Amino acid sequence: MSAAPGVATRVLAAKVLDAVVHNGRSLKAELAKALPQLADSRDRALLEAMCFSALRQRARYDAALRLWLQKPLGAKDGELRALLLAGFAQIDAMGLPAHAALSVTVEAARALGRPHQAGMVNALLRRAQREGFPEADASAAWPAWLRKKINQEWGAHAPAIFEASAHAAPLWLRVNRAKATRDDYVARLQAVGITSVVDVNLPDALRIDMPVAVAALPGFAEGDVSVQDGSAQQVADALQLPPASRVLDACAAPGGKASHLLERDPSLRLLALDVDRRRLNRVKETLARTGVEAELQVADASNLDAWWDDSPFEDKLLDTPCSATGIVRRQPDVLLHRKPEDLVALAALQARLLDAVWKVLRPGGAMLYTTCSILKEENEHQVAAFLSRTPDASVDTLPANYGHPAGHGRQRLPGEQGMDGFFYARICKAN
């Protein structure tokens, strides 16, 4: 790999995007492999920004390639096409100066073993710089079957969903109230030149609208503050936990919600489950950084024999695996990988989890069912089906600041109040 400054980062961006766009790989997994190859944190941030920006604006960049190329790139040109997407992202979505993007991206073509196509890369990037990109409806990035479903289910809201999902989310922070007040942390940010915004509905939250590296956040390593979307932060309020409650977080990774609950009330007796040991290690790291403690166990929450000690829980959080259609702006590869059959499997898993964890809830307790989906079969239809087969279950309606009425729950759509798409339903067990 070339040692020229910036070239290695572009080469890695091309390899990551090729794996994700053309080979069905996970963006998160590919970045996890690529980022350690870059020593400089600025290069790592640049790599992430290129990959996310290219995927979010892929429909526009694909339209440009169709328009500008006399013949389409072949099946063996995946890395080159991916490099062009990264180059377009630098010029367009990221707004990098041409001199900072053009030459190194062209050089990256040579480093990828494509010296004979470096001229074409240069010509296409310069054309993009001169002409800009053709307009493309934001919905074009969505697979046809999913686009149709969003239009059917959300009607007049659908264009805003597509548009919001094509842009980067703001940076939401959660101030650890066990260590500082929100006002104190606002002042700490101001002292280092970072402007933040508070939200009246989120007592621990701050929003930063300009990209900021986590390392630049005062006290992050010490657990004074964490990164967590505003929608996820509302979970702590929706649970309404009495002090010293025995609480189950049934699908806990990466641990942000559990940590938030314990930062607010360390007296909670919280059990955090996750089926994946590596993911549970992330929960352990999150809790350690923020200075809180919980019981951790690797287990499938639906398999009660594997983990439950027959002692009931007062309250529980069930943040289930889902289609992630509410967080496309954070996981843009969802639009490349999600298939209709996935929804069938996910809905079955959600139902199985609901039925299982209901059994461990004491009479009079409450379960908060949440997803980061905007699809009704995972949300309001799932809850309605659960209520129809569970005689001792009823719904405690959440207030309007949790989003749109959605059957027995509330649905926030992507980008509303700057937050992620998220579904909430608070389900109570009869005494």
Decide if 75 contacts 152 (C-beta within 8 A): no
Q: Tell me, yes or no, if 251 is annotated catalytic.
A: no
The vertex-17 CA angle with 49 and 32, nearest 5°, equals 70
- Return contacts of 43-47, CB within 8 angstroms, 24+ apart: 43/6, 43/8, 43/9, 45/213, 46/6, 46/9, 47/9, 47/12, 47/13, 47/16
CB atoms within 10 A of CB 42: 10
CA distance 214 to 226: 9
Query: What six digits make up the tokens of 123?
Result: 């010509």
From the list 254, 351, 250, 345, the residue with the least C-alpha distance to 301 is: 250
**CB-based contacts of 422: which residues, under 8 Å, 6+ apart?**
229, 231, 232, 234, 326, 370, 371, 372, 403, 411, 412
**Closest CA relative to residue 256, chosen from 351, 200, 332, 172:** 172
Sheet with 171-175: strands ordered across: 197-199, 202-208, 171-175, 225-227
Integer Cα distance of 378 and 371 in angstroms: 8
Structure tokens given for 154: 């959300």
Q: What are the residues facing 183 on neighbouring strands?
A: none
Please tell me the distance from the alpha carbon of residue 177 to that of residue 66, in angstroms, as a whole number.
52
Strands 422-429 and 361-371: antiparallel
List, as one string, the DSSP characters of 363-379: EEEEEEEEES---TTTT
The active-site residue, picked from 51, 251, 372, 428, is 372
C-alpha to C-alpha distance for 20 and 126, rounded to whole angstroms: 26
CB atoms within 10 A of CB 130: 8
CB atoms within 10 A of CB 358: 18
Q: Any alpha helices (H) in 57-97, and if so which ranges?
A: 58-68, 78-91
Which residues are identified as catalytic?
372
